[in-house]
């Protein structure tokens, strides 16, 4: 059964590679704007990504979208250093949520599953100097909320409650359970490996 990741995200590709290398990554190139509550928005975008690829390719297609939300406001990917600074100041000393919408569809059966995984992330109080140091790393670019927990951004985080991999962009346990429900089985390694 062919597994397709509807994404070109290096983080998602690396994360999915932790459980299987038997997949292809195909970017969906959809408009990622959506409305409604954060939980509905990420699921809606994940669904659109998966459905776009499923129309053109045969297999089990995974769509995912991740956002950072604080006070029910979505913090997207900062367009500038100043925008990232504002996001980090807002997150400093507070707890926010990282939400990943998942939509998995099998073109073999037409069945699909979708879910929203939520992880609470607590930032420690950050000084202006620490924020500037982090911005100097450049890690904030192309990251929802202006930080990446898998890099130097780990120094900003005092704790998490939930799936760590969700904060990186792909909740592996939830994804595996959804794939299994659609009949997907992880490939077995041969004795020679």
Q: What is the pTM of this model?
A: 0.91
Q: Which residues are catalytic?
A: 65
Residue-level pLDDT at 35? 78
Residue-level pLDDT at 191? 52
Query: What is the mean pLDDT of each successive set of 10 residues along the chain, which is 193 residues long?
Result: 91 94 92 82 96 96 96 91 97 98 96 97 98 97 92 96 96 96 78 51
Long-range CB contacts (within 8 A, 24+) of 149-156:
149/121, 150/11, 155/130, 156/88, 156/91, 156/123, 156/124, 156/126, 156/130
Residue-level pLDDT at 167? 96
CATH number for region 3-181: 3.90.950.10
Residue-level pLDDT at 149? 95
């Amino acid at each position: 059964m062919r597994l397709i990741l509807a994404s070109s995200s290096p983080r998602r590709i690396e994360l999915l590679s932790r459980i299987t290398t038997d997949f292809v990554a195909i970017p969906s190139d959809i408009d990622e704007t959506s409305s409604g509550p954060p939980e509905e928005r990420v699921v809606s975008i994940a669904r659109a990504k998966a459905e776009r690829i499923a129309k053109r390719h045969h297999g089990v297609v995974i769509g995912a979208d991740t956002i950072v939300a604080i006070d029910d406001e979505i913090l997207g990917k900062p367009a500038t250093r100043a925008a990232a600074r504002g996001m980090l100041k807002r997150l400093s000393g507070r707890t926010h949520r990282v939400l990943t919408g998942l939509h998995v569809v099998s073109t073999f059966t037409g069945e699909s599953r979708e879910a929203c995984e939520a992880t609470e992330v607590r930032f420690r109080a950050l000084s202006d100097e620490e924020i500037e140091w982090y911005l100097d790393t450049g890690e904030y670019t192309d990251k929802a909320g202006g930080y990446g927990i898998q890099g130097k951004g780990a120094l900003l985080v005092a704790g998490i409650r939930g799936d760590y991999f969700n904060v990186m962009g792909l909740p592996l346990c939830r994804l595996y359970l959804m794939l299994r429900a659609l009949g997907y089985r992880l490939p077995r390694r041969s004795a020679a490996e």
